[in-house]
A = this chain, B = another copy of it.
Amino acid sequence: MMEGKLLISQMIERAEKLFPKKEVISRTSSGIHRFTYREIGERTRRLASALEKLGVERGDKVATLAWNDHRHLEAYFAVPGMGAVLHTINIRLSPEHILHIINHAEDKVLLVDPMFLPILEAIKDQIPTVRAFIMMTDDDPLPDTTLTPIYSYEELLLEASPNFEFVKDLDEHDPAGMCFTSATTGKPKGVVYSHRGITLHSFSLGLADTGGLSESDVCMPVVPMFHVNAWGLPFAATWFGTTQVMPGQAFTPELLAELITNEKVTITAGVPTIWLGLLKELDSNAEKYDMSSLRTILCGGSAAPMGMIRAFEEKHNIPFVHAYGMTETTPLVTLSRLKSYQEELASEEKLDIRAKQGCVVPGLEIKAINDEGEIEWNGEDMGELLVRGPWIADEYYKDERTVDAFKDGWLHTGDIVTIDEEGNIKITDRTKDLVKSGGEWISTIDLENALMAHDTVFEAAVVGVPHPEWQERPVAAVVLYPDTVVSKEELLEFLKPQFAKWWIPDDIIFMDELPKTSVGKFQKNALREQLQEHLV
């Protein structure tokens, strides 16, 4: 067989050739813009040509500080297409961490949305590898800045060649992109994505039984393009000629609902907090929107509460698909769909299955281990999930923490799961969040989901708090829906029939807002710190 290298450039080339009329709809600070793949292809080639003129060479890192828009999409293909590496800076990291990762990655050129100028201006004298800044904007003249040398993205494109030929003599294992993930302690950890990994991951997104991404879809990634490549959707969607809707910056639930309505979005993807927001908006203003085009909400990043899945499906008739992955896994590992013979189950049983994270997708392997070895697939035993396969990282970029997470050829995810007889994984906790009470394990996520199933509870987080007798005991923090009231005792009574006695939290605390991480996950370490002395 021919080598037939798996390179990212083939994706944009296919879109140019087969889908030149299909569109990318991009929301920027200047409004909503429409580009065909013919235009995106030409602009991508111009961007690569411009970067080449600025001295970007094979293997160099080119970074973005940007939202989901057409220019970011162009960088997705221009940078790997010239053999360089796209570093999508996680703009929700602290300024100190952004400074660190720019230097750690040795970024050479920064593509920046004007709204992030202040962050860069504050650190510009401490990032010696950066040779040029490119402002991603339609504004002319450019906004004032102390960054130098500074270029206009659009002016560079005008002066560049539309006929840039993508570099083909790469190795498919060569790096194409990188992304840093925040760590519980210490600096963010870098993950490098290869051409091969991203290409195979894109295949998996197109499979009928996974994302089923198709030319006939209209795909809106709400998950940011600086976060695991918006789950790889922009790559796969371009390859398959899918219409893309890029929601841009500072979007609201109203705006997302409007984009779905106006652009007839068929598939969208994001973390549970996004969908909680959309759900509230639909509950309040259903008559304003038409959600009938939507065939799938893909939800990952953390476990979605069953109540939310039920509300989307039963109240709003929107299929809600649970998936699991992480920065280290490009990210798709599992996805929850019923098997054909499960379609006949009662609707509650089906919901129980679909609230799990689902079966491993073709191409990867999973297992879970605890102190006694590999766990049985019985839906009961808990173990840490291990993953391996061609789109799983095998190291953190120049980082000693590699040895902790990558062992014996498997990624140790730090997620505690059960696996049922059908192969569905269910995340029961993070290794570090698990409550260890008197030598037994208590899943904080199970308790949180149970709490969130209560009518009054909008969000809940459970953490293990040091306890003089039991080592640790669970304590819950909850945020109620506006204008609802409930007592601690009522919530405890609500939990009791659902769990063993020793699982019931020792206390429930009411809060106005839960601490969240930069990507919208509950920040349990902050909560844990706050409650350090709570049970002493």
Residue-wise, chain A 462-485 has the 8 Å CB interface mask toward B (1 for contact) of 000000000000000000000000
Measured between beta carbons, the chain B residues less than 8 angstroms from A2 are 388-390, 392-394, 409, 411
Measured between beta carbons, the chain B residues less than 8 angstroms from A364 are 4
Contact of A365 with B by CB under 8 A: yes
Measured between beta carbons, the chain B residues less than 8 angstroms from A200 are 4, 203
Contact A206/B362 with A216-B340, A339-B215 known, Cβ cut-off 8 Å: yes
Rounded to whole angstroms, the CA-CA distance of A204 and B14 in the bound complex is 15
Rounded to whole angstroms, the CA-CA distance of A398 and B330 in the bound complex is 40
In the complex, chain A residues 1-36 whose Cβ is within 8 Å of any chain B Cβ? 1-6, 10-11, 14, 17-19, 21-22
Rounded to whole angstroms, the CA-CA distance of A271 and B500 in the bound complex is 61
Query: B363 near A4 (CB under 8 angstroms)?
Result: yes
Closest Cβ–Cβ distance, residue A169 to chain B (whole Å) = 12
Residue-wise, chain A 375-392 has the 8 Å CB interface mask toward B (1 for contact) of 001000000000011111
Cβ-defined partner of A1 (8 Å) among B3, B18, B239, B391: B391
Among the 9-residue stretches A154-162, A190-198, A252-260, A522-530, the one with 4 or more Cβ atoms under 8 Å from chain B is: A190-198
Cβ-defined partner of A173 (8 Å) among B1, B22, B193: B1
Contact A18/B391 with A207-B203, A207-B207 known, Cβ cut-off 8 Å: no
Contact of A507 with B by CB under 8 A: no
Rounded to whole angstroms, the CA-CA distance of A194 and B2 in the bound complex is 10
Measured between beta carbons, the chain B residues less than 8 angstroms from A438 are none
Q: Which of A215, A240, A394 has the most CB of B within 10 A?
A: A215
Cβ-defined partner of A392 (8 Å) among B1, B5, B390, B423: B1
Rounded to whole angstroms, the CA-CA distance of A212 and B210 in the bound complex is 11
CB-defined A-B contacts under 8 Å, sample of 21: A1-B196, A1-B197, A4-B363, A4-B388, A5-B390, A6-B363, A14-B360, A18-B359, A19-B339, A203-B363, A206-B208, A206-B209, A206-B362, A207-B207, A207-B208, A208-B208, A209-B215, A209-B240, A215-B339, A216-B340, A241-B339
Give me 11 other A-B pairs in contact (C-beta within 8 A), A3-B390, A17-B423, A209-B240 excluded.
Answer: A1-B392, A4-B390, A14-B360, A202-B362, A206-B206, A208-B213, A209-B215, A212-B212, A215-B339, A216-B339, A240-B362
